[in-house]
Amino acid sequence: MNLTEAQLKSISKYLADISKLVFATTVLGFFIQTNTKPISVFMLVVGATITVFTFYFSVKIIPNKNT
């Protein structure tokens, strides 16, 4: 499946946005005190892992104009 440069940029931006959302809900939510059920350490680790992987993939699929 060959994607155009514009499509790859769109997918990259989408993955970067997912990374931001997961970070905000899990990692930041772990440190903010609320009246709701607190986020566990396990969820913190899972959220941080998903954040790193989605950000990594968003950077890796950006088209490289040097090739």
- Domain limits, the chain: 5-60
Reading phi first (left if > 0) and then psi (alpha if -120 to 50, else beta), residue 11 is in: alpha
pLDDT digits (tens, 9 = 90+) for 24-51: 888 888 888 777 777 788 988 998 899 9
Reading the block at residue 2, the tokens are 């060959």
Q: Place 66 in a pLDDT band, splitting at 50, 70 and 90.
A: low
Mean pLDDT of the chain: 85
Contact between residue 13 and residue 5 where contact means Cβ atoms under 8 Å apart: no
Query: Does the structure show a pLDDT above 80 at 7?
Result: yes
Task: Provide the whole-model pTM.
Answer: 0.76
Residue 19: burial class (beta carbons within 10 Å; 0-12, 13-18, 19+): buried
Contact between residue 12 and residue 61 where contact means Cβ atoms under 8 Å apart: yes
